[in-house]
Structure 1
Amino acid sequence: MQAEKIQTIKDLAQKLKENSILRCCCGFEVLGKVPSGSTFSRFLDKLVKNNELEKSFHELVIKAKKLNIIDGDSIAIDSTKLNSYETAKSKKSIVNDGTNPNWEMKKDTSDNNIK
């Protein structure tokens, strides 16, 4: 939830406690209690171990295609910045086996790198 700057499960639980509108939007009772951070964590652990969410996603995609909401011709890629805590590898040591990133900078027609 980027709009609320919620970065952790603990932050989510705290925001839900404090914000009745957010509670309502998330399906909780406006005046009711919300789950603790540890309850959310346990739920997410169970969700990850079960493939029901992935099945539901695929069913929604099929339904959206049948209803002509999407056509399946386009793809959106999340460009969220990920911090890397590994040291950079030299290009010589990267094996082009499909498991390592091996892209380069975009080049112009004169083969100069575009920044």
Structure 2
Amino acid sequence: MTPFTENVIEIIRSIPAGKVMTYGQIAALAGSPRAARQVVRVLHSMSKKYKLPWHRVINSKGQIALSDDEFYHEQLFSLESEGIEFGLNGVIDLARYQYHPEEESGIGGE
């Protein structure tokens, strides 16, 4: 497993209930800002094995990116059960719900 993949797994594991992170945000924190698609790959191939809270990862627009109806609704219901509210067109207010671990731990801080 590459260091990037290990970092992605640890970052996703750290997302608390009731919060979300974006694919690009995770990629940047894991050390490769342009690797959002690799985050998708990690989620797809390793969520079950590592028991990742995959439902807490969304796109940069604050939306669920899954196109499969069953998984879309599973993610929607999982997020709603954690108290996340969806606005118009299924958009999550990132200012309210986005998790910023770097602010809490000083990782990648400015």
Q: Give me the TM-score of the superposition, normalised by structure 1.
A: 0.25
When Rg is computed on C-alpha atoms for both structures, the one with the higher figure is 1
Q: Which structure has greater helix proportion?
A: 2
Q: Which has the higher contact order (CA 8 A, sep 6+)?
A: 2
